[in-house]
Amino acid sequence: MRGPDRGVRKEQQFLYPSEAVQFLACDEVPLAFRRVVALAICLYPRAGELAELRWEDVDLEHGTIHIHRTRDRVTGKGKGTKTGQACRFAIEAALLPLLRAMHGEASGKGRVVAMPRDNSNLCRVLLLWLQRAGVVRAELHEGSATRKNLTFHDLRATAARGPRCAATT
């Protein structure tokens, strides 16, 4: 038996590496937000996983990261990941200098980045800062019947589609 027809599945968006570099290099975009985007692109986390990532989960000596928590959308508290599985993987070499700098600034304590409790504005904020950085490709900013505009979650697609960590400063 076939499931219900849910209509056209809209195309997911992503940043080209050149667009990611342009965004990450733009001094008009706050450094803290550029860092959040760099980590989202290079580490593939969901927004809630990035929000709950702590320095104790980052092993700079061995170049590994452990994603095993996410932020609950309703309560704002940490819980297990969406899939229920923890993931430990190698950190891209190009990302290590950024993480080392951030680790030093935070004295290796607390969360890696500050994320808003409510992730619903992340998409709008991302699109505004992309425009400020001159990343104005229509597909990113304007949805249609067959494609959606870029969302924060789509940064995972950016990571999966091209060279990872082209620029992380």
Tokens of 60: 């700079």
- Quick one: pLDDT at residue 25? 97
**pTM, two decimal places:** 0.85
CATH of 17-161, picked from 1.10.443.10, 3.40.50.2300, 1.10.10.10, 2.60.34.30, is 1.10.443.10
Where are the chain's structural domains? 17-161
DSSP state of 110: S
Residue type, 134: G
CA 95, 168, 70, 46 dihedral sign is negative
- The CA dihedral of 152, 154, 156, 160, to the nearest 10 degrees, is -150
Is 132:161 a contact under the CB 8 Å cutoff? no
pLDDT tens for 39-90 read 999 998 999 999 999 999 999 999 999 999 988 877 878 877 777 778 888 9
Spell out the residues 6+ positions from residue 78 whose beta carbon is closer than 8 angstroms to its own: 52, 69, 70, 71, 72
